[in-house]
Each structure stands twice: as C-alpha cells, then as structure tokens.
Amino acid sequence: MNTNFLKLSGVLALTAFAQSARAELKWEQTSVDLRPAFNDKQAVAHFKYENVGNTPIHFKSVHASCGCTTAQTQNEQVAPGQKGEITATFNIGGRTGTQVKTVTVQTDDPEPSTVVLTLKAVITPLLEFQPTLVYWQNGEELKPKIITAKANKDAAIKKLDVASSTPDFTAKVDAGSAPNEFRISVQPRDTTKAVYATLTIKPDSPANTGNMFAAAARVMPPAPTNKSTLSTIPHDPATPTPTAGSPRQ
C-alpha cells in the first residue's frame, strides 16, 4: 500500500476528529446597559452563555475590574449543550453618572480563550444643578441670579431648603418651568466688597437620609488698577532745552 496515501489518510482523519471534537462558548451578549433607580444599592448584569460545541469547557478564571464589582459563574465546567450565566454585581455606593465596569473571563475554549464582559450603569443623581456657581462683578447691579435644580423623577421631591453660609446672600426657591425642576434665586446684599458663600441645599425627600448638596455664590474683588509710571530725566533748569531749530554745536 502506498505509504504517502496512508499518511495523508491519517492527517485527514485527525483533522476531521479535531473539527468534530471542538469546544465553543457562545455568549448571548458581552455588554449590558443598566439604569438603576436612585435608591438602588446595586446594579446587577446577567451574561448568558451556551456551549455550542461537543466537548466540555472549563472556566479558568473570572475576574472583576475593581473592588466595587463582584462576578460569579454558575458552573466551573460547561458540558456540550449546557447553558448558564455569569452574574456581575456592581455596588453603587455614592457613585453617580456613567459607570463602566468589566469582568475578564478565561476559559480553555481556544477561540477565544479570554472574553471581556462590560457592565455600564447610568446612575441619575438625586439632584443636578446648573450652574453650580453664580457670581457678580464688583459694583454690579443688585439683581438675583438663578441656579436651576433638576430632581430625579423617581425621588418625589416637593421642596428644597437653601441656606447660605454667610448673611451676605439670600436665596429663594420657586417651581421651575418643567416637572421636577426648581429655580433657586440668589441675591447678594452688597456688591461693593468681595465675598464668597456656600449654599447648602437640602431636599425633603427621601426622608431622613440626610442628603445635602452644595452650590456657591460670589462677589468678585475689584479689578486691579494699572498705573503706568512715567520715568523722568532730571534736567538742569540753567541749561536750555534744545529745540528743533537750534543749531548743533
């Protein structure tokens, strides 16, 4: 029998076996977007998977990107046809805004052996302010300036209390032009002297949580005066000053 034919047959058989005996972990999604409510303590993402191959897959490691996030899998080994999920839990704490956390998963699935799962949580704060600082130029007209406070729609805030750290400013709160919006009108008592104050803002909801926020008000100091100093050259009054028509000596 032809030796080369036998070798070729063996290679083809091994290739066919390798193709038939494969592992493949298929993910339903590798990125999850979440919008936790303002009073949620955690944001939880579920990353579902399935072994669509015909050999078992083993998890080698599951590692979260930071200490505020934990991750766990249901099984260390995934049999052919088996489904499962990795659960990523992000502890919100006092964080607001867009938070992006990742979980790195390593398996013995050769293509690919490392997968990065992404949890994105958009956390709306209890209150948002625009602007956070109002100011007046020195000597400016005594007119109030407005800070707009926008409340989280789920917080059911009906009232804001505002207090100035100094008596140099007064603050009044009215309803805004949109739902869940407040207008904080701030006015200085005098703009002829520089002064700075912190405005402490406390909502009436959620009750007994002690949530307080800060904005600022300021009267700017006077603009510096630029005085140009003219240098003078001492002149002997006994020596006449040359004029344009004086002949040179």
pLDDT-based confidence at residue 156 (cuts at 50, 70, 90): confident
Q: What is the mean pLDDT of the chain?
A: 84
The structure tokens 């600082």 sit at 133
pLDDT at res. 146: 98
What is the tens place of the pLDDT at every residue in 47-71? 999 999 999 999 999 999 999 999 9
pLDDT at res. 153: 86
pLDDT-based confidence at residue 209 (cuts at 50, 70, 90): low
pLDDT-based confidence at residue 140 (cuts at 50, 70, 90): very high
Provide mean pLDDT across the span 198-213. 82
pLDDT at res. 227: 58
pLDDT at res. 13: 42
Put simply, whether the predicted model's pTM sits higher than 0.85 gets the answer no
pLDDT tops 60 at residue 96: yes
Instruction: Give, in degrees to the nearest 5, the angle at Cα 197 between 194 and 202.
Output: 160
